[in-house]
Amino acid sequence: MTRYIFITGGVVSSLGKGLASAALGALLQARGFSVRLRKLDPYLNVDPGTMSPIQHGEVFVTDDGAETDLDLGHYERFTGVPAARSDNITTGRIYQEIIARERRGDYLGGTVQVIPHVTDAIKEFVLSDAGGVDFVLCEIGGTVGDIEGLPFFEAIRQLGNELPRGQTCFIHLTLLPFIPSAGEMKTKPTQHSVKELRSIGIQPDILMCRADRAIPKDERRKIALFCNVRETGVIQALDVDTIYDVPHAYHLEGLDAEVLSVFGIEDSPEPRLAQWHNITSAIREPEGDVTIAIVGKYTGLKDAYKSLTEALVHGGIANRVRVNFEWLESEIFETGDTAYYLEEVNGILVPGGFGERGAHGKIAAANFARTRNVPYFGICFGMQMAVIEAARNMAGIENAGSTEFGPTDEPVVGLMTEWMKENELVQRKANGDLGGTMRLGAYDAALKAGSKVAEIYGSTAISERHRHRYEVNMGYREKLEAAGLLFSGTSPDGLLPEVVELPSHPWYIGVQYHPELKSKPFDPHPLFSSFIAAAVEQSRLV
């Protein structure tokens, strides 16, 4: 029997519902249960694929090619359960499907309404493709009281009544602010948030109260009394020094035990948290540190690179070093002295991105790394800029450029118009829709035997997740390889480049895919482990 846990948020956004959901999933796993995590997003976009990273944060991509909310990255990193298209839905996608049904005449002339048609579609999503797991955790995006979230709250309210008794649990995450001038922690925002939730018809079973200090027992008792929750169901969710301590911290507060109590499960073994203790130990007791420059164009919002920074932390865990980040807006290299900003770093990472803004700065960063023997990791757009830099300065192709920036005499990087996916030809037009039209999801790649990247993976056959619509032009491969840049990974048919490296350099690798999406704290991605190891070596030379 699959049980359902619904996680909602109140008071303010960005309290950490995604992390709370992921940590609870990890705790239930540690007790021997199987889990599946899902995210319900109230915005009208069909998916986050066309949203600015500065507004929304990174776009997480699944193996089956879905562009999803970044919280699915938290779910995967904490539980190791691969997310899928069926684990993230938005209001836009629901309405798109309902309108398509209405146009086909599926409703037989009936009036299409929010209740029951929209709420039924949400419930259908929540209950579908559960795979027989013990627990499905559903996080509802936004904050209770938001008008766009009402259909989702109504849908889970209905599920609370429709599913058998004892098969649902409602968790509400709120904020307990401390007012310095009064010297008091205030419970009123939480009371109002729960009142709003109860007015919709949902009575929370558990309250997770975010706070920056311990919640006095009297305040917990007051919250329980005014919010109609058992005192043991008032869980303090305090700030911690690393997100990977959240499962242990929540276990100490009794979250997992309280959840199981809601379901009437009393005989579960204690969770096995040894791997989480090992991870936090490596983070808190490093044997050294390295500084990595992240040369990007969305550095104003660190969530735009969430999986990337976590993958670098995982590389640090693998090498038992602390990874410090030097966030650098790539545009500064277009007018300033590159060496001034990069002289002291131990590694340079140029991540993915779209558009011409900041591209020349990324090329300058790649040039600095190549000529100064600083470890360089180019991901997606970062690989393409490294190839353009090599074309200009190693192969003598002075006008090398990308058609993404406009017409060019030397299109070293160009728009992809067709590729193979599962033995089917996929085609795209230059003036077509932007949403969902990239080369998305998991694709196989063949690595060149004896190359550095094959040595790092320990294999010549890999599968990685992609998200791009431009590709390095293989027509330039011969010139580039003659100049010293090795195409060490391609698609299995040899038509599309996947990896480039510089054999003469200590560590200089560019990949067209996004390896950060598959890295986990208990299973760091080999490329990030190797990159940080190279940065450690570089730090010893400085």
Residue 435 clears pLDDT 80, i.e. is over it: no
pLDDT band of residue 429 (cuts 50, 70, 90) is low
Residue 437 clears pLDDT 80, i.e. is over it: no
Residue 433 clears pLDDT 80, i.e. is over it: no
When comparing pLDDT for 50 and 105, which is higher? 105
Torsion on CA atoms 238, 244, 250, 255, rounded to nearest 10: 130
Q: How far is CA 346 from CA 310, 359, 375, 488, in A?
A: 18, 22, 7, 24
CA 470 to CA 121: how far, in whole Å?
35
Residues 6+ apart with CB under 8 A from 161: none
pLDDT band of residue 425 (cuts 50, 70, 90) is low
Nearest to 374 by CA among 244, 534, 259: 534
Residue 95 clears pLDDT 90, i.e. is over it: yes
Q: At what angle do helices 119-127 and 150-162 cross, to 10 degrees?
A: 60
Radius of gyration (C-alpha) of the chain in whole angstroms: 25
Per-residue pLDDT tens for 140-188?
Answer: 999 999 999 999 999 999 999 999 999 999 999 999 999 998 888 999 9
End-to-end Cα spacing for the chain = 59
Weakest mean pLDDT among 53-57, 138-142, 264-268, 530-534 = 53-57
The whole-number average pLDDT for the span 260-270 is: 92
Q: How far is CA 429 from CA 189, 352, 417, 445, 491, in A?
A: 51, 22, 6, 24, 21
User: Which pLDDT does position 421 carry in this prediction?
Assistant: 64
Q: Which two tokens stand for residue 162?
A: 């429709």
Place of tokens 């017409």: 407
**H-helix or E-strand containing 443?**
strand 439-447
Residue tagged active-site, from 67, 389, 471, 516? 516
User: Which pLDDT does position 432 carry in this prediction?
Assistant: 59
User: Which pLDDT does position 354 carry in this prediction?
Assistant: 81
For domain 3-278, the CATH architecture is 3-Layer(aba) Sandwich (3.40)
Residue tagged active-site, from 380, 389, 466, 468? 380
CA 507 to CA 154: how far, in whole Å?
53
Q: Which two tokens stand for residue 448?
A: 């060149």
Residues 6+ apart with CB under 8 A from 47: 66, 67, 68, 88, 90, 92, 93, 435, 436
User: Where do the domains of the chain lie?
Assistant: 3-278, 287-541
Work out the mean pLDDT of the chain and round it to a whole number: 92
When comparing pLDDT for 422 and 28, which is higher? 28
- pLDDT above 70 covers a percentage of the chain that reads 96
The whole-number average pLDDT for the span 88-96 is: 94
CB 403 within 8 Å of CB 413: yes
Nearest to 416 by CA among 473, 350, 491, 480: 473
Residue 322 clears pLDDT 90, i.e. is over it: yes
User: Which pLDDT does position 57 carry in this prediction?
Assistant: 84
User: Which pLDDT does position 14 carry in this prediction?
Assistant: 83
Same fold, 3-278 and 287-541: yes
Count CA atoms within 13 Å of residue 320 on its CB side: 6
Per-residue pLDDT tens for 277-301?
Answer: 999 999 999 999 999 999 988 887 8
Active site residue 516: yes
State the pTM of this model: 0.92
Where do runs of H (alpha helix) occur along 228-337? 246-252, 255-262, 274-284, 306-319
Weakest mean pLDDT among 38-47, 196-205, 330-339 = 330-339
Residue tagged active-site, from 172, 251, 514, 525? 514
Q: Which two tokens stand for residue 538?
A: 């570089």
Per-residue pLDDT tens for 358-376?
Answer: 889 999 999 999 999 999 9
Per-residue pLDDT tens for 469-513?
Answer: 899 999 999 999 999 999 999 999 999 999 999 999 999 999 999
Query: 180: cis peptide before it, omega within 30°?
Result: no
Counting beta carbons within 10 angstroms of the beta carbon of residue 186, is it exposed (0 to 12), middle (13 to 18) or buried (19 or more)?
middle
The residue type at 493: D
CB 237 within 8 Å of CB 250: yes
Residue 422 clears pLDDT 70, i.e. is over it: no
Residue 293, beta-bridge partner list: 326, 348
178: three-class secondary structure by DSSP = strand
Place of tokens 């993976």: 457
The whole-number average pLDDT for the span 25-35 is: 97
User: Which pLDDT does position 427 carry in this prediction?
Assistant: 62
Residues 6+ apart with CB under 8 A from 103: none
User: Which pLDDT does position 434 carry in this prediction?
Assistant: 58
The CATH number given to 287-541 is 3.40.50.880
362: three-class secondary structure by DSSP = helix
Q: Which two tokens stand for residue 332?
A: 């500064």
The whole-number average pLDDT for the span 92-96 is: 94
